Every structure is written in C-alpha cells, then in structure tokens.
Amino acid sequence: MWQLRSPSLGRSPGPVRAPEVKGPEEIACMREAGDVVAEALERAGELCRPGVRTSELDRAIEELIRRRGAEPAFKGLYGYPATICASVNEEVVHGLPGRRALREGDIIGVDVGAIVRGYHGDAARTIAVGTISPEASRLLETCREALERAIAAVGPGVRVSTLSRTIQAFVEGRGYSVVREYVGHGIGRRLHEDPQVPNFVPPDGPENDVTLRAGMAIAIEPMVNGGGAAVETLPDRWTVVTKDRTLSAHFEDTVAVTDAGREVLTARSRERR
C-alpha cells in the first residue's frame, strides 16, 4: 500500500506519472510473480495457528518465495526489514514480524510481494487464527467482499474513482470505516507505480482520477476498520494501528486490465477470473 499523496498530510511519494501500459510478456512475468504470492498466502493460511510466532511465519514465506525462484519484494524496500507484513488485530498495515505468538481468536493481515524477472506481484489476506468472534468474522467478510466488488468493476474505460466509490459505499453501508491515509497503487517494474487507487472518494471529488486501459496493472487493497477511520504509527516507525484500537482487516490483489475486463494475477491459475 502507498501513503496517500496529499500536501495536507505532508506525504508525497513524488510527482504523478502517466500509468504504464504493459505488454503481454510483461503481464506474463507479473502473472508468474502473482502465482508465487498466491502460493505464499495459501501457505500463510496453513501456518497461522495459535502459538506460531510472526517471525516464524516470515521465515517460512521467504523460504517459499526463494524456492520458487523469485525474490521477496518487500525486504529492503524503503528500509523495511522483513519479507512479509504481519499485522495482528488492531494493526492495520506494515506490522513487523517478531517474537509475538499468535493466539486463538486473533486475526492477522499477511501482506506479501514477490519479484519475477524484474516484475512484481502483491497481495494480502487477513487470516483467522482458530475460531474468531462473530464481529471479527463479519469484518473480514466485509473487507473481502469490498475487494471482490471492486475487482468486478475493473475494465477498460472504467475510472479509478469508480473502484474507490464501490469500496467506500459497501464498507460504510456495513457500518465500518475505510482507511484514508493508505491506498492501493499501480504495479509493474516497481512495486508502487501510478495511479494511486484510494478506497474512498473525497467530498470535493477525486484528485488525479485515471481511466483504466488494457495493459494497466493495479493493486486494489481495501483496509477496513471496525471503528473509526483514524490511524497512527507506532514508535517502531512501521506498524500502523487503528487510533481507537478496534480491529482492522486488509485484503489485496494485483489485477491486470484486459480488453475483455480483468485478470486477477495474484490468484492461483485455477482461480483466475
């Protein structure tokens, strides 16, 4: 995810660039990277059990990515020290793996990136650890469906703001909040490319709205809070948490725009749509 480009926040990743349109060979590399990411998330789902430390999860996923002949996309990026982001309960994004052991009833957002021949795949899932509360289950279901609805709206000629509006309307209609400081993004040779893909539309309308074209690739990633939308960063300078310490969920997929609609590059081959 990318910090929202906004002068009022004082966070700008650089000037807006024209979104890159990829050719078939580039999309093929991204499809391979996406398959590695999808396998890594499947493995994370198997490993996220009570008693497992987030550092153990990080090591296992790095081993899987390298065994597949890919490179971890996050490790060293902007100085980030790990292969995955492991965000537990009220942690929204960028949770640092460490000695924390998962407990029954936790939820953990696992964000994974991989690079194949210079091209990126990026996806995230929030995973239930054992049996979780009905409230947590409904939060995860809402975030997952928000992502699915946004993906279903992707196609040539569609504006990014349509995806943003789709996510925001569904999430807020279920009584939850969407995070505003962090957004989805274009993806390709760099993990974070233009366009930015917010999960909301500002009251005064979208800024730098982009019309999707076949060959573009974007990472769509709703971040949904059980309480208010406000977040803050912990003293470790990475882990972002809900300000009111309510639960948060995060789901993400890398999606290529095709002439016919879209292809989810971070789904296993049997699940692409």
Give burial (CB, 10 Å; 0-12/13-18/19+) of 67.
exposed
Q: What percent of the chain is modeled with pLDDT above 70?
A: 92
The model's pTM is: 0.93
Model confidence band, residue 15 (pLDDT cutoffs 50, 70, 90)? low
| Each residue's pLDDT tens digit, 210-245 | 999 999 999 999 999 999 999 999 999 999 999 999
| Each residue's pLDDT tens digit, 92-118 | 999 999 999 999 999 999 999 999 999
Give burial (CB, 10 Å; 0-12/13-18/19+) of 232.
exposed
| 27 pLDDT more than 80 | yes
Question: All domains of the chain, ordered by start, with CATH?
Answer: 2-271 (3.90.230.10)
Task: Report the candidate in 116, 107, 121, 115 with the shortest Cα–Cα distance to residue 225.
Answer: 107
CB 112 within 8 A of CB 40: yes
Task: Report the candidate in 89, 100, 162 with the shortest Cα–Cα distance to residue 129.
Answer: 89
| 171 pLDDT more than 50 | yes
Instruction: Give the Cα separation of 215 and 192 in Å (integer).
Output: 16
Phi, psi of 58 (to 5 degrees): -60, -45
**The pLDDT of residue 18:** 80
- Average pLDDT for 44-72: 98
Task: Report the candidate in 109, 130, 144, 120 with the shortest Cα–Cα distance to residue 219.
Answer: 120
